[in-house]
Structures are given as C-alpha cells and as structure tokens.
Amino acid sequence: MTIEDSVVVRITDLLARAAELRYGNEYGQARSAQHAQDCKGWLAAAVNIVQVIIPDPTSGYRKMAETIALRDHGYTIPGEVGELASLLENLLRDAQAGLVASVADQARAEVFDDFLDHAKLYQKGGRKNEAGVIVGVVFEDSIRRCCRKNGIEEHGRKLDSLISELSNSGIISATKAKRARVAAHVRTKATHAQWDEYDDNDLRTAIDFTEEFISNYIEEHS
C-alpha cells in the first residue's frame, strides 16, 4: 500500500468514526464522559492526518483544522468533531484528485534525504551492512515511484527489469542505468545479508546515484 492509499484509508476510517461521535444529546453536548474523551481523541487523530498531508502551516486546510482542534471544547465537543469531519470530507476529495500524491513525493524526498544522511554516516563509521540496507530501501522505493509516475507497471517486477524499461523509455540514460544496476545489486545483497557481495565503492555508487535520482525524479517533479 502506498502512502497515498494509506492516507485515504485513514481519512475514511476517521469519517466512519465521526459519524457516531459528532452527535450529542438533545442539547448538542457529549452524552457521557467517555463520549467526550472519545471525541477528544478523534480530534487529535484528525488534525494529525491533516498535518501529515499538508506540511505547509499556512495552508487553509491545516490552519482551520488546528483552530478547531485547539478550541476549549467543553461539553459541546461533538460539534467540533462534526466541523472537522466536514473539513476531512473535502480534503478526502482533494486527496483522491491527486493532492496526496504530490505531497507524498515532497515528504518522501525530505525523509529519504535524512535516510541517506544516515547511510553516509554509517559508511564513514565502517558500518557497511547498515548503510547498504538503508540505501537499498530508499533506492527501490524511488525507482518504483518513478515508474508509477511514468505509467510503467512495477508491481511484482524485479528492479533490473524496471531499470531496463526506464532506460529504454528514455527516462534515464544508459550510463545512469548502469549505475542504477550497481545500486540494485547493493539493495539485493544487503537485503539478503550477503554483505561480502558488495564493497565500499559499490555502496558509494548506490548512495550517490540514489541521491541524484531523488533530486531529479522526485523533488524536481513534486
């Protein structure tokens, strides 16, 4: 399941839960102390998913969600659930229209930059095994994401096949494809704990290529 799919599923689950929580008693108040606590927990979860999807703190969606969640709710908290649920319904429509895919690329780029920094530190510290595992995960996800964005079916296919198709389609050059295969080799061997099957030069090629690939095919096209 992709980040996008996970976000849509999470929003859908929250909306289903809100259908029960948003209604209070005849005065619009929480029906019990437990109901109020459940509403409070729901608000925290809902604003968290909005912050995940919308990293920009100046976004209208995010500002409104945070304003609702930070109010002094009191006994009328079910009404706040209803208000934030309405916002999530609109956000879900935007997410399904492609918003989440764009934001997911930005989030991945930032997270992957951090991962690669860790891989570099591990390599410098002589911890080739750990560095290989980290860069392998980042490399594979980046290749598969690039394929999906370019209409190339990647599910169930091996990395070498995907690299060939990216090259044959002119998305990456033959030279980059050669470097990509080194990175794929590191990924495969590190994943299967075959540490002696790649060396520091292979690892450095994998890190450098993956860093460039993210810059050219994820960050640039977000």
CATH at residue 198: 1.20.120
Q: Are residues 91 and 186 in the same domain?
A: no
Give the count of alpha carbons within 13 A of 208, CB side only: 9
Contact present, 31 and 24 (Cβ < 8 Å)? yes
Per-residue pLDDT at 210: 94
d(CA 103, CA 115): 18
Among 96, 127, 147, which residue terminates a domain?
Answer: 96
Sign of CA dihedral 91, 95, 97, 101: positive
Query: Is 31 in the same domain as 86?
Result: yes
Which residue positions in the chain have pLDDT lower than 50? 221-222
Q: How many domains does the chain have?
A: 2
Structural domain boundaries enclosing 185: 101-219
129 and 177 share one domain: yes
Clarify whether residues 211 and 147 are in a common domain: yes
Q: Are residues 207 and 111 in the same domain?
A: yes
pLDDT at 222: 46
Q: Judge if 91 and 14 occupy the same domain.
A: yes
Residues 119 and 177 in one domain: yes
* C-alpha–C-alpha distance, residues 202 and 192, integer Å: 16
CA atoms within 13 A on the CB side of 54: 22
User: Domain ends where: 62, 96, 130?
Assistant: 96
Instruction: Please indicate, yes or no, whether residues 89 and 21 belong to a single structural domain of this protein.
Output: yes
Residues 138 and 74 in one domain: no
**Residues 214 and 131 placed together within one structural domain of the fold:** yes
Residues 135-145: tens digit of each pLDDT: 998 899 889 98
**Which of 32, 35, 42, 54 has its CA nearest to residue 83?**
42
Of the residues 96, 119, 134, the one at which a domain ends: 96
Are 113 and 55 members of one domain? no
Residues 141 and 204 in one domain: yes
- pLDDT at position 179 is 96
